[in-house]
Amino acid sequence: MNRRTFLTWAATGVASAAVAPSSAWPGVSRRVPDDPYGCLVDLTRCVGCRKCEQACNTVNNLPAPSVPFDDMLVFDSQRRPTPQSFTVVNRYHTGKVDDRNRLVPTYVKVQCMHCQDPACVSACIVGALTKRDNGAVHYDESKCIGCRYCMIACPFQIPQYEYNDPITPRVRKCTFCFERISQPGGVPGCAAICPVEAITFGKRNVLLALAAQRIEAEPARYIPHIYGASEVGGTSWLYISGEPFEKLGFLTLPHRPIPQTTESIQHGIFAYFWAPLTLYGLLGAIMYGTHRRQKQEQQTSEDKGDGP
């Protein structure tokens, strides 16, 4: 290959690569559901009975826990969801006391928040995670390749991986009782079993209005903040509380959906680096081909030299 041929080949490759990002990376194509379901958790009502944990365990056919659901010693330490427990309840003491000067705990249910524009869905390179119209972030284990990008992307640090399963490990998280809420009148197991109605299931827009109504009606009972209304673009799970959320283990997050930031960076990187990466690939191929041809010519020359 002479210099002119090389330059022509390289220029053609770079030119074609330069236009590739416009088709390979079309931008954010996900559609946020117009009227999804959600759950409103009223932390002023939760009594820490752990019935929601038990119902979740039953509905999802999860293994029996090592600590029974009626054992309240689990509140001595903070817990996170695991592959065997999609939701957990934690206890917090913020200094609040009752009329007898006794500490009043606040109990917080933790599970996947089912974001409106989920970072995990954006991060999944094989489409194993999808945001459904009913509000659930649904996981298809048949598509999952175990890259665990979803675990890194989640701002709430929720997805968990079955490290103890060497054959068919899965990413595990709250399913929002997808099959149940897909049926008419279906309600998530945790919301159905709650004895004090701390969890209300319904259309997200209705729940937002209900939360605002409760806060307005009892300003001394609630802080003026609906957690999940706008955090990371909004979530299907919403919370109202009598205590500041930062004292209850909730993260302070931006209002901008995570994918709007990460995808713009990701697409920008690919847009500007695709061409040089392609060029380097072409150079590598040319160098390999040239080196191989030189070796063949050298071998041929040596063979002739050894001849009679």
Each domain of the chain, given as residue ranges in start order, spans: 37-256, 258-297
How far is the CA of 157 from the CAs of 114, 217, 251, 265, 291, in angstroms? 12, 34, 10, 21, 49
Q: How far apart are CA 10 and CA 279, in angstroms?
A: 7
pLDDT of residue 103 exceeding 60: yes
User: Which of 16-30, 101-115, 148-162 has the weakest average pLDDT?
Assistant: 16-30
If 0-12 CB within 10 Å is exposed, 13-18 middle and 19+ buried, where does residue 188 land?
buried
pLDDT category at 301 given cuts 50, 70, 90 is: low
CATH number of the structural domain 37-256 = 3.30.70.20
pTM for this prediction = 0.77
Q: Is residue 39 annotated as involved in ligand binding?
A: no
| pLDDT tens by residue, 167-204 | 899 999 999 999 999 999 999 999 999 999 999 999 99
Q: Is residue 120 annotated as involved in ligand binding?
A: yes
Phi-psi label, residue 233: left if phi above 0, alpha if psi -120 to 50, beta otherwise: left
Phi, psi of 236 (to 5 degrees): -75, -25
Q: Comparing C-alpha atoms, which of 182, 172, 165 is closest to residue 111?
A: 172
